[in-house]
Amino acid sequence: MSSLTGRCACGGIRYELASEPMFTHCCHCLDCQRQTGSAFVINGLIETDRIRLTVGEVIETSFPTESGKPHLVYRCGDCLTVLWSDYGARGYLSFLRAGTLDDPSQIRPDVHIFTRTKLPWVQLPPDVPAFEVFYDMKSLWPEAALDRRRTASAAAKSSRT
Ligand SMILES: [Zn+2]
Ligand SMILES: [Zn+2]
């Protein structure tokens, strides 16, 4: 078990992560700005089954998307804080809102994306890759992270058949 724990604003939901995220996105797109009401979102990509609820149950809602694919969002049913989401309803892969960690400084973005809509006063660190839109996962992710993602995807496929 990692030392990564988090909660919603009211404390009705608490979770712990079985390991660190595979990779962490800092997304500056307009959707993320609108959905958070802030400058960007920090999403830790992690296998859904590595998020363990220790208190409470989340509710599933969704955000509209341009692609038409669902963007499922998991919240506390009382204070409605978003804790993680699932783009495209993959099931096995979740985007944990790293700002909900008890100590958000435990996770740093591995990449900045959609910087074309980054707010002009946000200064990016020079040592972290940044992309106008998206990036090539295979060239940026460490091999161990790619392995984890492949394993989770394969397990999800075999459980559906
Ligand atoms: Zn809550
Ligand atoms: Zn975004």
| Regions of the chain with pLDDT less than 70 | 1, 161
Distance 118 CA to ligand 1 centre (A): 29
Burial of residue 84 (CB within 10 Å: 0-12, 13-18, 19+) is buried
Give the pLDDT of residue 160: 72
Give the pLDDT of residue 48: 97
Residues in the chain: 161
Domains of the chain from N-terminus onward = 5-160 (3.90.1590.10)
Distance 161 CA to ligand 2 centre (A): 32
pTM recorded for the entire structure: 0.94
E strand map for 14-160: 14-17, 23-27, 41-47, 51-55, 58-63, 71-76, 82-87, 93-97, 111-113
Please state the φ and ψ torsions of residue 49, each to the nearest 5 degrees. Answer: -75, 0
